Amino acid sequence: MVYNIYHPILQPPEGIGVERLILDCDPGHDDAIAILMAGLDEKLELLGITTVAGNSYLENTTMNALKVVEMAGLDVDVYAGCARPLLRDQIVAPEIHGSTGLEGAKLPTPKRQAEEKHAVDFIAEMVKAYPGEINLVATGPLTNVALFIIRYPDLVEKLKRIVMMAGGIAFGNVTPVAEFNVYADPEAANVVLRSSVEKVMAPLDVTHQAIMAAEEIERLRKTGSHILQTLADLLDFFRSTYLDLFDIDGAVLHDPCAVMYLIDPTIFECEDLYVEVELDGNLTYGQTVADIWKTMKMKPNVRVLKRIDRKAFFDRLFEDLEKLAVRK
Ligand code: BDR
Ligand code: CA
């Protein structure tokens, strides 16, 4: 069916093209931007935010999600999930995101609290309510997502897809070959990659093409909006840790790439690949091993984002964030 925007009858039904999502995250500076995009972009309907331990401990990532929701005036509930990885010892990332997971600016004290329900049960409830319609976007370690798959095997097929910021094909960022979200819970990532549901993965290879430069952060500050100035402060903190640790001068917007895929997949060049997580290697624990040359003769199990149209990405991001300028 081709809809004609000028024809009074042939209008698309309300909500067509809108993607329903749950954002499973560990805020985290780039997670905070992902929350804002998910809550502000007209192409998306954010049903809830679920939190997981990752960049910081669960109490912190949950509090940070609540603070971001409060700051932006979003009407969305937050559900806390897993406080620890499935098997491995816990790691957190204060060297990147500060001791609370979201250092760099003072955010408002949230009025709402996290809901009683566990994140994994909330995901299940939503999948039951909207079979075939839920996009589960994961921007932290995959513990909650794996637990959902293990706890509710009959619901897995009823997810629309999982979109995850996870892994690195050519390089890692915690070890030479392992990316943080996968390294923080490789066994969970393994459960997810082996599941039958449609999967999309934004690895470091693509997220390192979405770096917000100092002038772009300044553009937020210059709007004069208190919220956008706060965001600029957060992003400058994130930028400074990347400069110290990786010699990268910019805020690497890993997690927004996963949300952007739902908003406009045409911004990305992708390839369907067979990807497994290394669980035994001494030097390679947590590596996402992608069979680029099909040497393993396996069916691809995940769509891997490879390249991004940087201009289109930032145009849409600013369009979304600048909606906050009119809010107090
Ligand atoms: C991922 O790790 C975290 O630090 C970021 O929030 C992102 O999800 C990048 O490796
Ligand atoms: Ca994250």
Report whether pLDDT(16) > 80.
no
Cβ(134)–Cβ(21) below 8 Å: yes
pLDDT at 185: 98
* β-pairing verdict for 199-202 and 275-277: unpaired
- The pLDDT > 90 percentage for the chain reads 94
Confidence bin at 327 (pLDDT 50/70/90): confident
From CA 103, how far away is CA 198, in angstroms rounded? Answer: 35
Question: How far is the centre of ligand 1, averaged over its atoms, from the C-alpha of 140 (Å)?
Answer: 7
Residue among 254, 247, 252, 222 nearest 235 (CA): 252
Nearest ligand 1 atom to the CA of 165 is 8
Q: Which two tokens stand for residue 20?
A: 């329903």
Confidence bin at 17 (pLDDT 50/70/90): confident
Sign of CA dihedral 188, 114, 256, 44: positive
Write phi, then psi, for 195 (nearest 5 degrees). Answer: -75, 160
Residue 56 Cβ inside 6 Å of ligand 1? The answer reads: no
Question: How far is the centre of ligand 2, averaged over its atoms, from the C-alpha of 27 (Å)?
Answer: 6
Residue 28 Cβ inside 6 Å of ligand 1? The answer reads: yes
Q: What is the mean pLDDT of the chain?
A: 95
pLDDT at 5: 39
pLDDT, tens digit (0-9, with 9 covering 90-100), for 99-117: 999 999 999 999 999 999 9
Nearest ligand 1 atom to the CA of 173 is 10
Mean pLDDT, residues 173-180 taken together: 98
Report whether pLDDT(6) > 60.
no
* Structure-model confidence comparison of residues 12 and 203, the more confident one: 203
Three-state SS sequence of 174-225:
CCCCECHHHHCCHHHHHHHHHCCCCEEEECHHHHCCCEECHHHHHHHHHCCC
pLDDT at 300: 98
| 178 to 48, 281, 289: CA distances (angstroms) | 29, 11, 10
Q: Which ligand is nearest to the CA of 252?
A: 1
Confidence bin at 328 (pLDDT 50/70/90): low
**151: which strand partners?**
none
Q: Is 7 an annotated catalytic residue?
A: no
pLDDT at 4: 40
pLDDT, tens digit (0-9, with 9 covering 90-100), for 273-299: 999 999 999 999 999 999 999 999 999
**20: which strand partners?**
45, 134
Mean pLDDT, residues 174-197 taken together: 98
pLDDT, tens digit (0-9, with 9 covering 90-100), for 128-176: 999 999 999 999 999 999 999 999 999 999 999 999 999 999 999 999 9
Cβ(260)–Cβ(275) below 8 Å: no
pLDDT at 3: 41
- For the chain, the first-to-last Cα distance in angstroms comes to 42
pLDDT at 11: 43
Spell out which residues have Cβ within 5 A of ligand 2, the ion: 26, 28, 31, 139-140, 255
Sign of CA dihedral 281, 165, 109, 216: positive
pLDDT, tens digit (0-9, with 9 covering 90-100), for 192-249: 999 999 999 999 999 999 999 999 999 999 999 999 999 999 999 999 999 999 999 9
pLDDT, tens digit (0-9, with 9 covering 90-100), for 45-55: 999 999 999 99
Give the number of C-alpha atoms closer than 13 A to the C-alpha of residue 24, restricted to the C-beta side. 31
From CA 226, how far away is CA 41, in angstroms rounded? Answer: 20
Give the number of C-alpha atoms closer than 13 A to the C-alpha of residue 52, restricted to the C-beta side. 29
Three-state SS sequence of the chain:
CCCCCCCCCCCCCCCCCCEEEEEEECCCHHHHHHHHHHHHCCCEEEEEEEECCCCCCHHHHHHHHHHHHHHHCCCCCEEECCCCCCCCCCCCCHHHHCCCCCCCCCCCCCCCCCECCCHHHHHHHHHHHCCCCEEEEECCCCHHHHHHHHHCHHHHCCEEEEEEECCCCCCCCCCCCECHHHHCCHHHHHHHHHCCCCEEEECHHHHCCCEECHHHHHHHHHCCCHHHHHHHHHHHHHHHHHHHHHCCCCEECHHHHHHHHHHCHHHEEEEEECEEECCCCCCCCCEEEECCCCCCCCCCCEEEEEEECHHHHHHHHHHHHHHHHHCC
Could you tell me if residue 155 is left (phi over 0), alpha (psi between -120 and 50 degrees) or otherwise beta?
Answer: alpha
Residue 165 Cβ inside 6 Å of ligand 1? The answer reads: yes
Question: How far is the centre of ligand 1, averaged over its atoms, from the C-alpha of 284 (Å)?
Answer: 18
pLDDT at 74: 98
